[in-house]
Structure 1
């Protein structure tokens, strides 16, 4: 299984309540898949996961929107022949304490992506 590690940058759009995470390095967008309701994963032209969007993010994480401007992230994406799985741990500061919020979602690999494991951290 091919392995990759990427640093990501994050942007939070308060108006649309959308959290965007994307790799630091430039890439050529190819397609998106919905891993779960309101969680979208983007792939580049080499079929590598390069961006993640979480719609209605403050509702998803049960936090005030300002808490999504700065957080820590440990995320892994596993692409297997039959499924795509995202396992992430967001560490969000709320009310002077840090809250660990797991995100574990997945879908079937019906677009025949090659098997790989990718790891991500917020830059």
Structure 2
């Protein structure tokens, strides 16, 4: 993933030479069109720069955190299903449920918690 998106922009540049503008150049083309890929690339670059920081190869703020501020906001891509019409749902479900409930009641397969297999508790 980094080979495809990050290396064409930063190449073999040392971690202490990577700036927030470089991170933006990597992420801007894919941030809105491929949001999951953009998130994964950002996460991997952030991890590499954090490790370089811990290893003493660079110092200061991780440029990924600064670059995120410059990225465009993603809109809500959630798609919801249309709601069922209540009246049609109730009439169709009641036509199924009522005969089933009547059969269960008449056969004695529904027991009250106050009974023991249909016999009153003593």
More strand by share: 1
Q: Which has the higher helix share?
A: 2
What TM-score, normalized by structure 1, do the two folds share? 0.25
Larger radius of gyration: 2
Whose relative contact order is higher, 1 or 2, with alpha carbons under 8 Å and at least 6 apart? 1
TM-score (norm 2): 0.25
